[in-house]
Chain A
Amino acid sequence: MRGFAILCQKEVMALFSSPIAYVVVTVFLLIMGYSFTLTLFISHTPSLVHLFFQMFVLFLLTVPIITMRLIAEERKLRTIEMLLTAPVTEAQIVLAKFAASLGLLVLMLALSAAYPIVLGIYGNPDWGPIYSGYLGLILLGGALVGTGLLASTLVTNQIIAALLSLSVFLLLWIIDDFGYLLPDPLDTLVVNLSLSGHFKPFATGSLYLSDAAFYVSATLLTLFLSIRALARR
């Protein structure tokens, strides 16, 4: 646990020592702030449903940028040798990188909490969809960071890692469109891999265990594969 905490601290430092974290947070807040204001003025309803879908898309686009360097950079600079010859396990390294990156997404979401607070002050929002929307975004973030981390573990080039994870995200975003064209039972299987299909209920305030289980399973699977990929030397 101690090793994990030290590594996690190092990862947070690494995230904020490059401009990437600042740029991602700033862009996220600017777009969300503009979108929130626009939606509020047009619809005059105290709801964040549209905003959650926009956050969903922004997560798909920004997570590859956050995760691309995690392992690929350590491999390229060979600092991974320093880590893996110290008494720490591959699991501690992977989990620390995952926690730090997910932490950045949580920070972005925490900063966006200004929008529901404004709604709460000036209106009477339905808090259920707001809570479930944020929960969905955190679960989605976990699955995306896990996938991005796996891509970064598999290649040494950061750009390729980013493109690889972005391709997977975009494919899983629109996969349900293809799924409907497939024969039974393939269609059900493919549609159930859809990132957006599992996110919609969260954004609209309907909580299903199966949707949460999808994101948690994807997170655990990608973390497991990342640990195995790092251990394969």
Chain B
Amino acid sequence: MSPPTVVAQNLVKWYGPRLAVRDVSFSIDAGEVVGLLGPNGSGKSTIFRILTGYLTPSSGTVSVAGHDAVTDSLALRRQVGYVPEDAPLYDHMRVAEFLRFMARIKGLSGNAATRSVARVAGRLRLDGVMDTPVAKLSRGFRQRVAIAQALLTEPRLLVLDEPTSGLDPRQVNAFRDLIRELAGAQTVLIASHVLPEIAQIAGRVMILLDGTLLTTDALKHRADIQHLRLQVDGPEADVRACLATVAGVRAISAEAGSGDAPTLYIVEAAQRPLVARDVAAALAERRLVPSELAVVPPDLEQVFLELTRRRDEVAA
């Protein structure tokens, strides 16, 4: 088995007195598409900047393809293609000029640079705008140019910071197709605060909150829990007491129904067979009749909320 492409160990980053990243460790295997999920200001961009050699960590180590981010930064940067948030580009250049400049600065020369520019322009469908000044590009095209420059040298690791922000749905779809094309051939790390987007693209999702990595595999957590949605007429305290007796039930939230409608309960339970049947049996035993009982497939949002709730509980 080949060694991981990215290894981060006990990463810590201070900005003056503010701790932006606290003791973050993870690894990413070659060919994986990994999402880094977290709200704005959670430390995603800081981790990306450390991974790309732009920032140095206050402590801890990062290596990409075996090259350390601090001691072997230039070699590391040759292995990484980076698309920063909001696609900062040189507005005074034309697209072809910009891509050629980036190709040359990344070490490609002469014909190799020309071929590489033509390849990424075709792949990102930029042929029609190659002579357009970057300043006149639409948001979508800017983002595509930024992704194109990151792919110029076919890097081992592609780091994309909020790559779909500002794109229209068609462009987002095209972007997803591109990432699916790259999966397997290249290691991709994508940051986003949009949960459904990450869920569709990434094979593994890490969740970051306030600089702390809550999980390195949220999708596995998703497989570990299930949610039941039920509506029951009766005193809430009785229903809660009844549900709490069922094995595997972890948390219960209640929402009063409008008008005469019964209260709606969302029950979080461990992923084991027949929980729904046990819930129904427990309710029947106490003569509580549910008007609705359904298993809801959990999404990343629920995993995110669950993990943050657990963290807050631990902190409290």
Contacts and interface: CB of A to CB of B under 8 A. Distances in A.
A77 B80 contact: no
A81 B92 contact: no
Contact of B92 (A13, A78, A83, A86): A13
User: Interface majority SS on A: helix, strand, loop or mixed?
Assistant: helix
A82 B92 contact: no
Contact of B84 (A13, A14, A81, A88): A81
Nearest to A15: B92
A78 B88 CA distance: 6
Contacts of B172: none
B115 interface: no
Interface string B83-102: 01010111111000000011
Interface residues of B, number: 28
User: Interface majority SS on B: helix, strand, loop or mixed?
Assistant: loop
B56 A86 contact: no
A82 B56 contact: no
A104 B89 CA distance: 24
Contact of B106 (A79, A81, A86): A86
Contact of A85 (B56, B82, B90, B93): B82
Contacts of A233: 54-56
B86 A10 contact: no
B88 A84 contact: no
Interface string A62-90: 00000000000000011101111111110
Contacts of B91: 77
Contacts of A120: none
Contacts of A88: 105
Interface in A1-45: 2-3, 6-7, 10, 13-14, 17-18
B89 A86 contact: no
A163 B185 CA distance: 51
Given A6-B105, A86-B77, A87-B77, A78 B53 contact: no
Interface residues on A, range: 20 to 34
A172 B75 CA distance: 42
A84 B53 contact: yes
A3 B105 contact: yes
B174 interface: no
Interface in B99-143: 101-102, 104-107, 109
A85 B77 contact: yes
A66 B90 CA distance: 18
Contact of A89 (B74, B75, B107): B74
Contacts of A77: 88, 91
Contact of A82 (B74, B102, B107): B102
B54 A85 contact: yes
B105 A78 contact: no
Contacts of B109: 2
Nearest to B81: A85
**Most interface-central of B56, B77, B105 (chain A CB within 10 A):** B105
Contacts of A14: 90, 92
Given A81-B54, A233-B55, A86 B49 contact: no
B176 interface: no
A81 B50 CA distance: 11
A1 to B, nearest CB: 13
A89 B90 CA distance: 19
B101 A6 contact: yes
A17 B52 contact: no
B105 A79 contact: no
A233 B149 CA distance: 23
B240 interface: no
Interface in A83-108: 83-89
A7 B105 contact: yes
Contacts of B149: 82
Contacts of A2: 109
Contacts of A84: 53-54
Contacts of B56: 233
A217 to B, nearest CB: 29
Given A6-B101, A233-B54, A78 B74 contact: no
A17 B91 CA distance: 10
Given A13-B93, A17-B92, A79-B89, A85 B105 contact: no
17 contacts: A3-B105, A6-B101, A13-B92, A18-B92, A77-B88, A78-B84, A78-B86, A81-B54, A81-B82, A81-B88, A82-B89, A85-B52, A85-B84, A86-B106, A87-B77, A88-B105, A233-B56
Given A3-B105, A13-B93, A87-B77, 7 more contacts: A2-B109, A6-B101, A6-B105, A81-B54, A85-B82, A87-B107, A233-B54
Interface of A: 2-3, 6-7, 10, 13-14, 17-18, 77-79, 81-89, 233
Which 8 pairs, one residue from A and one from B, show the smallest C-beta to C-beta distance?
A: A78-B88, A17-B92, A85-B52, A87-B77, A85-B82, A81-B84, A86-B105, A87-B74
